[in-house]
């Protein structure tokens, strides 16, 4: 027996199972009971079936037969959080699991680990929903755990489809910006060249709670807080909080920019030419690099699972961070990577008040001030009463407002950073982030601890020269592949089916944002799909022109 608490006895067809006296499988006919349960469920397309504590897997074969007649995307995840019962299921389900791509057995206990298992097993954007099917009574041993797993899987699926929608809308812009920003690699060092040593770091978002925190910061430190050289800590600002700091005379040590569209430039109004260092994503708007007039450090966030981005990762030493869907989350990840000191969050709220949506002097707040009149009040009442906005307690216990998107970002924050021992939040009106909270006195005391080593950057002209050569060769390879693909699609020359398939895979930035491909883990229609090929053909022109201009510029240089 796998464990002393497990008892197995013969019962009609199959075996009955009990755990420490609790019956988990029928003592009469467990096989028939499992098949009946699997036969009664409503089968729908693109469903991930969660079967907690499968034990012998009775009923799974019947469920798999029904799924086979429905669609190719649905699958069954058997989850077991009890280590002894997981070992038992591995032995009893080996024949059902063998060679069946629709069925998997997971023994992870943490919901995030189960989500990672599903992603590795079946990829992203495969499922549209999660349904729970209890084929045994084993779920009663950890009801809360299995409910948490189901909730996490549903959230993960919703996030996948939300990211796919974003990619289908902005993917072309991401791709074009990434190509343009290849020219920045020889000019600017990767973010990994910047270090804050053991200095404390303050990460500022643009939430309403930033206002009182900055007030306390100025009262405590006085003019020392205004400039990087005089304060004992570093400030990493998201782009939308730059003007909030600027209105108070505070110059941050680093600004984080991810936005790919032109409207983001309003975040830098009033800060142009001030020499503020910038950390910029490769998919960000290229014009962003020259706005602040300070040092620029490049980093890389893979916006899709495509070969083009993997080639960039392999060719260039640009610092890489996981896609976190929010500039606030990315700023925290970057701040943690820059040193070994404590990191404190302020203004990362994921909530708002009826009269305050953003911190004062942020672009959103300034827009409200500009348009205020007797018909258009300063409080953003439209945001407060829109569908999906709910009242929820903040960290300080006072009710605040938040919508589904904000709460999803908050949940994502907790999933990514709850285990970071150097990360702290400030006591404020924001939503709880799942990390330790410091009151005002504790936060200021933490920021007072001056480290022995401050900010340090390393530049290397030889590396920049080498990067120019690598960039030129990279551009030429991409340009050659584009020209080959275009010549086949226009009938200029006849290529084999294998060559066309290979070129489509190589130039996957042309179709990664198509609605049927976005967020699908690099999956695409076959080259025999004429409609797909026509859509790819229309995308080649802008990229061919851009790569061509960059190639000519490289040759002139």
Residue 471 belongs to some domain of the structure: yes
Instruction: Based on the fold, state whether residues 98 and 197 are members of the same structural domain.
Output: no
Q: What angle (nearest 5°) sits at the alpha carbon of residue 97, between those of residues 96 and 100?
A: 100
Share of the chain above pLDDT 70, in %: 93
Cα 78 from Cα 86, distance rounded (Å): 10
| Residue 382 lies inside a defined structural domain of this protein | yes
- Across 26-35, 231-240, 494-503, least confident range: 26-35
In a domain, 181, yes or no: no
Q: Helices H, strands E: what count in the chain? A: 17, 20
Query: How confident is the prediction for the chain on average, in pLDDT?
Result: 89
Give the 3-state secondary structure of 426-492: ECCCCCCCCCCEECHHHHHHHHHCCCCCCCEECCCHHHHHHHHHHHHHHHHHHHHHHHHHHHHHCCC
CA dist 176 → 10, 172, 280, 538 (Å): 65, 6, 15, 14
Do residues 537 and 447 share a domain? no
Calculate ∠ Cα 53-58-60, nearest 5°: 85
Q: Is residue 171 part of a domain?
A: no
Same-domain check for residues 365 and 483:
no
Same domain, 363 and 226: yes
Over residues 102-128, the mean pLDDT reads 91
Are residues 482 and 436 part of one domain?
A: no
Residue at which a domain ends, from 388, 422, 457: 457
d(CA 320, CA 298): 9
The whole domain housing 520 covers: 461-556
Pick the last residue of a domain from 399, 422, 457. Answer: 457
3-state secondary structure of 411: helix
Same domain, 434 and 495: no
Q: What pTM was computed for the model? A: 0.84
In a domain, 179, yes or no: no
pLDDT of amino acid 185: 93
Q: Judge contact between 120 and 82, C-beta under 8 A.
A: no
Provide the CATH number for the domain around residue 84. 3.40.50
Task: Report residue 1's pLDDT band, with 50, 70 and 90 as the boundaries.
Answer: very low
Residues 522 and 447 in one domain: no
Q: Which of 426, 457, 488 is the last residue before a domain boundary?
A: 457
Kindly indicate the confidence band of residue 492, based on its pLDDT and cuts at 50, 70 and 90.
very high
Is the residue at 287 inside a domain? yes
State whether 452 and 465 are in the same domain. no
What's the CA dihedral at 504, 509, 510, 513 to 10 degrees? 120
424 and 526 belong to one structural domain: no
CA atoms within 13 A on the CB side of 403: 11
The yes-or-no verdict on residue 289 having pLDDT over 80 is yes
What is the Cα–Cα distance from 453 to 334, expressed in whole angstroms?
A: 18
pLDDT tens digits, one per residue of 167-190: 999 999 999 999 999 999 999 999
398 falls in which pLDDT band (50, 70, 90)? confident
Please check the confidence at residue 452 and state whether its pLDDT lies above 60. Answer: no
pLDDT (mean) for 294-317: 94
> How does pLDDT run across 139-164, given as a tens digit for each residue?
999 999 999 999 999 988 988 888 88
Task: Please indicate, yes or no, whether residues 485 and 430 belong to a single structural domain of this protein.
Answer: no
Same domain, 261 and 310: yes
Q: What is the pLDDT of residue 435?
A: 95
pLDDT of residue 556: 60
Give residue 465's pLDDT. Answer: 63
Q: Using the predicted structure, report yes or no on whether residue 70 has a pLDDT greater than 90.
A: no
User: What's residue 453's pLDDT?
Assistant: 44
d(CA 292, CA 269): 10
Quote the number of domains for the chain.
Answer: 3
Banded model confidence at residue 381, pLDDT cuts 50, 70, 90:
low
Same domain, residue pair 157 and 208: no
Strand partners, 457: 194
For residue 225, what is the DSSP state? Answer: G
- So what's the pLDDT on residue 461? 46
Examine the pLDDT at 421 and tell me if it is beyond 90: yes
DSSP letters, 36-85, are HHHHHSPP-TTEEEEEE--TT-TTHHHHHHHHHTT-SS-EEEEE---HHH
């Amino acid at each position: 027996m796998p464990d002393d608490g497990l008892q197995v006895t013969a019962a009609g067809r199959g075996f009955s199972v009990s755990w420490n006296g609790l019956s988990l499988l029928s003592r009469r006919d467990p096989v028939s009971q499992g098949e009946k349960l699997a036969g009664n469920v409503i089968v729908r397309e693109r469903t991930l079936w969660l079967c907690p504590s499968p034990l012998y897997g009775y009923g799974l074969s019947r469920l798999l037969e029904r799924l086979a007649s429905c669609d190719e995307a649905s699958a069954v995840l058997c989850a077991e959080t009890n280590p002894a019962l997981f070992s038992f299921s591995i032995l009893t389900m080996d024949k059902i699991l063998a060679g069946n791509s629709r069925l998997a057995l997971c023994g992870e206990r943490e919901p995030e680990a189960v989500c990672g298992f599903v992603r590795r097993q079946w990829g992203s954007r495969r499922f549209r929903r999660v349904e729970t099917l209890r084929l045994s009574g084993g779920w009663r041993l950890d009801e809360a755990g299995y409910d948490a797993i189901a909730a996490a899987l549903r959230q993960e699926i919703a996030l996948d489809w939300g990211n796919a929608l974003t990619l289908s809308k902005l993917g072309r812009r991401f791709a074009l910006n990434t190509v343009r920003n290849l020219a920045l690699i020889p000019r600017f060092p990767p973010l990994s060249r910047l270090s804050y040593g053991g200095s404390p770091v303050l990460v500022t978002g643009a939430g309403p709670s930033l206002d009182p925190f900055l007030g306390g910061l100025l009262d405590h430190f006085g003019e020392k807080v205004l400039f990087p050289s005089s304060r004992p800590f570093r400030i990493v600002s998201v782009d939308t909080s730059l003007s909030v700091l600027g209105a108070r005379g505070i110059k941050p040590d680093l600004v984080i920019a991810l936005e790919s569209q032109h409207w983001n430039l309003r975040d830098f109004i009033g800060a142009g030419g001030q020499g503020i260092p910038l950390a910029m994503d490769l998919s960000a708007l290229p014009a962003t690099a020259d706005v602040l007039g300070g040092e620029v450090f490049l980093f890389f966030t893979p916006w899709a699972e495509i070969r083009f981005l993997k080639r960039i990762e392999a060719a260039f030493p640009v610092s890489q961070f996981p896609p976190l869907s929010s500039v606030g989350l990315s700023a925290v990840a970057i701040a943690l990577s820059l040193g070994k000191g404590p990191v404190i969050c302020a203004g990362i709220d994921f909530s708002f008040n009826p009269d305050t949506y953003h911190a004062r002097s942020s672009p959103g707040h300034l827009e409200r001030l500009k348009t205020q009149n007797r018909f258009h009040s300063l409080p953003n009442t439209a945001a407060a009463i829109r569908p999906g906005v709910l009242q929820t307690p903040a960290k300080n216990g006072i009710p605040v407002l938040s919508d589904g998107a904000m709460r999803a970002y908050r949940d994502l924050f907790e999933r990514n950073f709850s285990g970071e021992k150097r990360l702290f939040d400030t006591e404020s009106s924001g939503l709880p982030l799942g990390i330790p909270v410091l009151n005002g006195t504790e936060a200021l005391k933490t920021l007072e601890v001056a480290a022995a080593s401050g900010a340090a950057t390393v530049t290397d002209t030889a590396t920049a020269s080498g990067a120019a050569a690598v960039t030129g060769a990279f551009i030429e390879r991409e340009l050659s592949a584009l020209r080959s693909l275009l010549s086949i699609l226009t009938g200029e020359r006849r290529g084999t089916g294998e060559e066309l398939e290979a070129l489509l895979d190589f130039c996957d930035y042309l179709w990664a944002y198509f609605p049927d491909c976005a967020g699908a883990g690099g999956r695409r229609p076959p080259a025999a799909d004429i409609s797909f090929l026509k859509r790819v053909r229309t995308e080649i022109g802008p990229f061919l022109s851009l790569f061509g201009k960059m190639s000519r510029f490289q040759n002139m240089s």
